[in-house]
Chain A
């Protein structure tokens, strides 16, 4: 099992550009989430999905879109990048919860810089 994989590992964007952060898991988990982590801060939930075709907003959803067409993939789209979106992005998955009643597995992260 590869677990949770994320691509790219690093990305630099200019303000206004768009891009998609990829996330995939091979554990057949229903629940997937995207978090951002700013320097010296904890993780904040951006969007999450409880299964294919179902997504919902987390704590900080503005400026991001998600979709879940398959169980395995959960891409995060930045519509028009802003310097405030400079952060490290983590994708996570779990079997039957959002990591509270079930172990949540995290990917290695994508470090994004917006100039």
Chain B
């Protein structure tokens, strides 16, 4: 069971780059790493997914070191609207009852 550990909260200012690290020491060979974003009173929304090295899309980058025991979500130039809870999810198709979102990281962006 791949348990994840994230910081409970982070604070930032508009325009800064934010890096949120997730620890997953017992990640399995088949596991992928996925990050979701959740605003209050809404369901989570997919941000990015990766297996190794670096993945980049229009909203974020995901850095995964060679040992895959951790991953870092990077949000470039955050704005107030990026204030949300960010979840790191580790698992694989068919993992079923082994999937868990953890408690997430509350990111607060201020002016």
Contacts and interface: CB of A to CB of B under 8 A. Distances in A.
Classify the interface of chain B: helix, strand, loop or mixed. loop
A101 B49 contact: yes
Given A98-B93, A101-B32, A101-B49, A109 B100 contact: no
A40 B9 CA distance: 12
A98 B104 contact: no
Interface string A68-100: 000000000000000000000010100011111
Nearest to A43: B101
A90 B41 CA distance: 11
Interface in B15-48: 31-32, 34, 36, 41-46
Given A43-B44, A90-B43, A59 B91 contact: no
Interface residues of A, number: 29
B46 A99 contact: yes
Contacts of B87: 42-43
Contacts of B95: 98, 100
B97 A42 contact: no
Interface of B: 31-32, 34, 36, 41-46, 49, 87, 89-97, 99-104
| Pairs of residues from A and B, 9 with the lowest C-beta to C-beta distance, nearest first | A106-B43, A42-B101, A97-B93, A43-B101, A103-B46, A100-B91, A42-B102, A42-B103, A58-B97
Interface of A: 4, 35, 40-45, 48, 56-59, 90, 92, 96-109
